[in-house]
Amino acid sequence: MTSPLDIIIMAAGRGTRMKSRLPKVLQRLAGRPLLHHVLDQAAQLAPRRVVVVTGHGATEVEAACADWTRAGAGFDLKTARQEPQLGTGHAVQQALPALAGDGTVLVLSGDVPLTRADTLAALLAAARPERLALLSVSLPDPTGYGRIVRGAGDAVQRIVEHKDASDAQRAITEIYSGIMAVPARWLAPWLARLSNGNAQGEYYLTDIVAQAVQEGVAVVAHRIQDALQVEGVNSPAQLAQLERAHQQRQAQALMEQGVRLLDPARFDLRQDARSGTRGELVCGQDVEIDVGCIFMGRVEVGAGARIGAYCHIANARIEAGAVIHPYTHIDGEAAGVQVGAGALVGPFARLRPGTQLGRDVHIGNFVEVKNAQLADGAKANHLAYLGDASVGARVNYGAGSITANYDGAHKHRTVIEADVHVGSNCVLVAPLTLGAGGTVAGGSTITKDTPAGALSVARGRQVSITNWKRPSKTPPQSQP
Ligand code: UD1
Ligand code: CA
């Protein structure tokens, strides 16, 4: 029988090098706060309880924990304040009262977002039933990290922090990742005995290793190869580096499912920071995505659909065989956007919330659509606006035409029935219904409903004056 798992996430540090007002653990990676990435890892291990240690920006960090709980965390999440911040050993000490003594404790850092759950599971296996297990990795440049000091037979002796290390110790390349697993009942007595007589005047969690060795407790270092998994975020440059690594991982996973990414290094899938909807891209067979596209929230792309270069697509469903040409902006926000099978959109099109395009709809360059439904085969190919509108099948909507849907106070709907032809540069003043099969002459401002099948013209009548003489300059008067 294995002991229950409890997790402590240290998240009280300042993160000075980010030079940001936001607490470090709330900086975003792929649109998601770092702390939420760490909570994701925790969730995969099905812990009994998780305690987040807060300090700097405690109220904001606690609010982020509450957001997580609201989203349905599936485990018991508590926070513990650490004030002032006297070091990592002191941080863990603040969390202990919230934990039962019979568990195995996994210590994580809120600023290390890319650790894999299977790595943590292996670390836990190494700690059970009665060992202290450290996650370690060898780095070409170990500067700044705690070093794993090994003795006879390679047995771990202690961890020495960089600032306290001798030159010989600084030459050690195996470093402590900041992640450990340990039976809970040992922690309280060990932490109580820590001293802060070191270079930083802090209570180091890492000093418990030497205590364990002294008491004859087995200490193991579970060494992994992939340094990325233990890399923390300390600066904007590191955050950007981890962002790219994370995006490459997501790109890799999609390619393994058969998605064709023209360049996995130029692919981004992010959480929608506005709603907190996770970044999720669900693709059918033979989907092709060109370079520089950014996906946000949940996006579905049907079989054989193609997404051109530099599109920004959020909260949308694109059905099979649709083609989104380059530089198209699609943002469904909460209402969503749906693009029907075989539709052609863009380049430079903008689809806003509540847009629903039927099969084979064409939306061309510089066309904006908002809260409008276009039935199968409808076309708006150039420079147009359709807002709060129902557009029937096969409607042709001319260049430069707009729905005037807003009277300054209220929005009104425009209904364009099937097979209507709207000429260029028309203003359709809502509320309005254009009867099926009718034609609206170019340049018309339509304010009244039009009958089915009629030609409607609403513009100044053309007048031509024959033999019209343009004014000419009168020659200057000659002086007498
Ligand atoms: C720590 C380890 C070091 C390891 C490195 C890996 C110690 C003493 N050292 O060093 O061996 O190689 O991580 O990245 O543990 N925190 C608190 N309260 C505090 C201090 C820190 O909550 O009082 C939190 C920080 O917010 C951060 C984590 O603990 O999430 C690590 O703290 P940090 O100051 O970054 O430790 P390092 O000096 O990097
Ligand atoms: Ca650190």
Do 12 and 117 lie in one domain? The reply is yes
Q: How far apart are CA 457 and CA 423, in angstroms?
A: 10
The domain that contains 206 carries what CATH number? 3.90.550.10
Do 70 and 152 lie in one domain? The reply is yes
48-91 pLDDT, tens digit per residue, is: 999 999 999 999 999 999 998 887 767 899 999 999 999 999 99
Structural domain contains residue 390? yes
The pLDDT confidence band at residue 479, using thresholds 50, 70 and 90, is low
Structural domain contains residue 112? yes
Q: What is the mean pLDDT of the chain?
A: 96
Q: What is the 3-class SS of 334-384, one letter each residue?
A: CCCEEECCCCEECCCCEECCCCEECCCCEEEEEEEEEEEEECCCCEEEEEE
Active-site residue (options: 162, 382, 412, 421): 382
Do 218 and 174 lie in one domain? The reply is yes
The domain that contains 346 carries what CATH number? 2.160.10.10
| Ligand 1: residue whose CA is nearest its atom 11 | 146
The pLDDT confidence band at residue 476, using thresholds 50, 70 and 90, is confident
Cis ω on the peptide bond leading into residue 84 (within 30° of 0)? Answer: yes
Do 336 and 225 lie in one domain? The reply is no
End residue of a domain, out of 230, 251, 284 = 230
Rounded to the nearest 10 degrees, how much is the dihedral formed by the CA atoms of 31, 33, 182, 80? Answer: -170
Contact in structure between 231 and 112 (CB atoms under 8 Å): yes
Best probe residue, ligand 1, of 17, 41, 82, 88 (max atoms within 8 Å of C-beta): 88
Do 72 and 165 lie in one domain? The reply is yes
Distance 334 CA to ligand 1 centre (A): 39
Say yes or no: CB of residue 10 within 6 Å of ligand 1.
yes
Say yes or no: CB of residue 12 within 6 Å of ligand 1.
yes
Distance 64 CA to ligand 2 centre (A): 21
What pLDDT does 371 receive? 98
Do 300 and 344 lie in one domain? The reply is yes
Say yes or no: CB of residue 146 within 6 Å of ligand 1.
yes
224-260 pLDDT, tens digit per residue, is: 999 999 999 999 999 999 999 999 999 999 999 999 9
What pLDDT does 240 receive? 98
Do 76 and 187 lie in one domain? The reply is yes
Ligand 1 nearest-atom number relative to CA 205:
15
Token duo for residue 161:
């922090």
Do 194 and 301 lie in one domain? The reply is no
- Whether pLDDT at 478 is above 80: no
Do 144 and 75 lie in one domain? The reply is yes
Which listed ligand is nearest to 206 at the C-alpha?
1
Structural domain contains residue 253? no
Token duo for residue 144:
């700044």
What pLDDT does 72 receive? 74
Do 193 and 96 lie in one domain? The reply is yes
Number of domains in the chain: 2
Do 330 and 189 lie in one domain? The reply is no
Task: Tell me the residue range of the domain where 298 lies.
Answer: 259-456
Do 38 and 173 lie in one domain? The reply is yes
What pLDDT does 15 receive? 86
Q: How far apart are CA 210 and CA 256, in angstroms?
A: 45
**Catalytic site includes residue 382:** yes
Distance 232 CA to ligand 2 centre (A): 6
Structural domain contains residue 226? yes
Distance 93 CA to ligand 2 centre (A): 18
Say yes or no: CB of residue 109 within 6 Å of ligand 1.
yes
- Whether pLDDT at 455 is above 80: yes
Structural domain contains residue 473? no
Structural domain contains residue 480? no
Enter the pTM of the model.
0.92
351-375 pLDDT, tens digit per residue, is: 999 999 999 999 999 999 999 999 9
- The counts of H helices and E strands in the chain are 8, 35
- Whether pLDDT at 210 is above 90: yes
What pLDDT does 138 receive? 97
